[in-house]
A = this chain, B = another copy of it.
Amino acid sequence: MLSKTTEYAIRALVYISVSNKNGKRPGFKEISEEISSPEQFTAKILQTLTRHGLVNSARGRGGGFFFDEQHSDSINLYKVISIFEGKKYFSRCGIGLQGCSADQPCPFHCEFERIRNDYERLVREETIASLSEKVKLGEAILKRK
């Protein structure tokens, strides 16, 4: 399971992407409003994302967050998750055994690895752009009304 930080990050990026497609650059207040996340905490998460170059920001009037030239289709969820959870997230043991491996497996190793790999494959496929497309088409939402 993901931390709230990562979840907010994904929803925020998707919202930015949708908003950009409508020709706008949302600020953190609008973003947090539209994805139901705490304002200041969201701002902090966005800072981290810009520092890592996943999204751009512009200061001053008319500023806000944005992707340059549909860069959002090259950002998959794997990238976002890695930033906040660390790469080890995708190699962790299912019952917390340190150094669990094919060599010295915990009794849950094989079975869990299959699921974890499925998950990794999925988050590598899904991009901010692919998710935002669904929202734009009205097939999905980012906030419960």
Contact = CB atoms under 8 A, between A and B. Distances in A.
Contacts of A140: 105-107, 109
Q: Which of A8, A10, A108, A132 has the most CB of B within 10 A?
A: A108
A122 B132 contact: no
Instruction: Please give the count of copies of this chain that the complex contains.
Output: 2
Interface string A109-140: 10110010011001000100011101100011
Contacts of A104: 141, 144
A98 interface: yes
A7 B107 contact: no
A106 B141 contact: yes
A94 B80 CA distance: 13
B106 A1 contact: no
Interface of A: 1-2, 4, 7-8, 10-11, 14, 36, 77, 89, 92, 94-99, 104-109, 111-112, 115, 118-119, 122, 126, 130-132, 134-135, 139-144
